[in-house]
Amino acid sequence: MAQIVKRAYKYRFYPTPGQAEELARTFGCVRLVYNKALEERTRAYTLEGRRVSYVESSAALTQWKRADELAFLNEVSSVPLQQALRHLQSAFANFFARRAKYPTFKSRKKSRASAEYTRSAFRWRDGRLTLAKMSDPLDIVWSRPLPEGAEPSTVTVSQDAAGRWFVSLLVEEKIAPLDPTGSLVGVDAGITSLVTLSTGEKVTNPRHERADRRKLAKAQQALARKAKGSANRAKAQLKVARVYARIADRRRDHLHKLTTRLVRENQTVVIEDLTVRNLVKNGSLARAISDASWRELRSMLEYKAAWYGRELLVIDRWFPSSKLCSACGALQESMPLAVREWACACGAAHDRDVNAAKNILAAGLAER
């Protein structure tokens, strides 16, 4: 049975100089409001032991707009400012529920520049999007069509470190589940092979970061030679950001293709609950682990399985998938990372990763 899900469609767009100026001003105001509200909440929580609600923050925003030194907040749409307060409210809710760390201040250099517009702050007509405070629609590159009849409920505009502009349209879409299939697969995440499947197939790790490492090093060396605060340093920073953006885009594209294929071909997918945060503490492997993007791989599998009526099982991170013989179940005392092939006393010869994938599949099915 088809289900209705909320799905974001992201596109590049090219603003006019006036639109770029308006958006840059909006980004700055959003960041200021978020940080000012966070400062007020922190003060109340630290000195008074009191939690500040969204309603109180919203009332404070109204007062800030009346102050002469913050009168410029009235020059941008009020909706992105209110949305910033809502995002802060969610951040505190996650903190108090122990799902996240304490919210941090947004930095002009390090934080993502973005603004969120709800339905009252943009106009959508005949596939043309016009934001509040703007007279002309955005020049969007429609790289793929929106679902037929889709009406955006939320629009998020952002600019990345490479200077590219993006607009993300949140729409409701009806997604039909895929036809059932009897295939089951265990997935072992790795470094040499991005993933190894219980079928014996190995998907090579493209190592996008390594492929562009020389170009990245050259750009970073050029950046290091530039004087801080100079125009040439800003240009050099942009070149470094563009290399990083190319790496991230290619990595994300590869992960999308891989996860879509796994979900389409298999009714049940079993993976390990890997703690990437702890794994990257290994200095010799941190770079390779980060480049593999295991966390993003899992995230994609989770929402795609939910969309298309597939089952995703996650086994305990401490399960000894590499040490266990998938033929007889014997547990080896140790299995150094350098050992890629080994033979069990029962006579079974194993490829380390294929054996681990088979054990992951069996463990997942056993815990159903």
Helix axes 213-224, 231-265, angle to 10 degrees: 160
Give the pLDDT of residue 245: 92
Catalytic residue among 22, 116, 209, 353: 353
pLDDT for the residue 84: 97
Asked whether the beta carbons of 12 and 139 are under 8 A apart, the reply is: no
**Percentage of the chain lying above the pLDDT 90 cut:** 77
The pLDDT, as a whole number, for residue 232 is 94
Mean pLDDT calculated for residue range 329-342: 90
Q: Which residue has the higher pLDDT, 152 or 281?
A: 152
Over its C-alpha atoms, the chain yields an Rg (Å, rounded) of 25
- The arithmetic mean of pLDDT across residues 265-288, rounded, is 69
Per-residue pLDDT averaged across 186-209, rounded? 88
- Catalytic site includes residue 353: yes
More confident residue, 271 or 293: 271
Q: What is the mean pLDDT of residues 34-46?
A: 95
Say which residue the tokens 């998020």 belong to: 156
Maximum C-alpha span of the chain = 81
What pLDDT is attached to residue 204?
A: 87
Rounded to an integer, what distance in angstroms lies between the CA atom of residue 361 and that of residue 40?
50
pTM of the model: 0.87
Q: Mean pLDDT of all residues in the chain?
A: 91
pLDDT, position 16: 97
Question: For position 295, what pLDDT does the model report?
Answer: 86
Contact predicate 331/341, CB 8 Å: no
pLDDT the model gives residue 280: 42
Q: Is the pLDDT of residue 242 over 90?
A: yes
Whole-number Å distance between alpha carbons of 280 and 284: 9
Reply yes or no on whether the pLDDT at 41 is more than 80.
Answer: yes
Q: Identify the three-state secondary structure at position 118.
A: strand
Query: What per-residue confidence (pLDDT) applies to 288?
Result: 53
| Residue 191 pLDDT level (bands cut at 50, 70, 90) | confident
Distance (Å) of CA 239 to CA 159, 245, 246, 247, 282: 15, 10, 11, 13, 29
Strands 202-204 and 193-197, by their bridges, are: antiparallel
pLDDT at residue 48 greater than cutoff 80: yes
Catalytic hit among 22, 116, 209, 272: 272
E-strand stretches of 65-136: 113-118, 122-125, 128-131
Summarize the confidence of residues 231-259 as an average pLDDT. Answer: 93
First to last CA, the chain: 23
Per DSSP, what are the bridge partners of residue 187?
197
The arithmetic mean of pLDDT across residues 201-229, rounded, is: 88
As annotated, the residues of the chain forming the CATH 3.30.420 domain(s) are 184-205+252-366
Phi and psi torsions of 249, nearest 5°: -65, -45
CA dist 158 and 343 (Å) reads: 53
The active-site residue out of 22, 188, 209, 291 is: 188
Contact present, 187 and 201 (Cβ < 8 Å) = no
Least confident of 206-210, 220-224, 299-303: 206-210
- With bands split at pLDDT 50, 70 and 90, how would you rate the model's confidence at 326? very high
- Single out the residue of 73, 94, 85, 106 nearest to residue 41, CA to CA: 85
272 included as an active-site residue: yes
At residue 337 the predicted structure's pLDDT band, cuts being 50, 70 and 90, is confident
Q: What is the structure's pLDDT at 349? A: 95
What is the arithmetic mean of pLDDT over 64-71?
Answer: 96
pLDDT in tens, 77-125: 999 999 999 999 999 999 999 999 999 999 988 788 999 999 999 999 9
68 is annotated as an active-site residue: no
* CATH of 184-205+252-366 given 3.10.20, 3.40.50, 3.90.1720, 3.30.420: 3.30.420
Residue 175: predicted pLDDT: 92
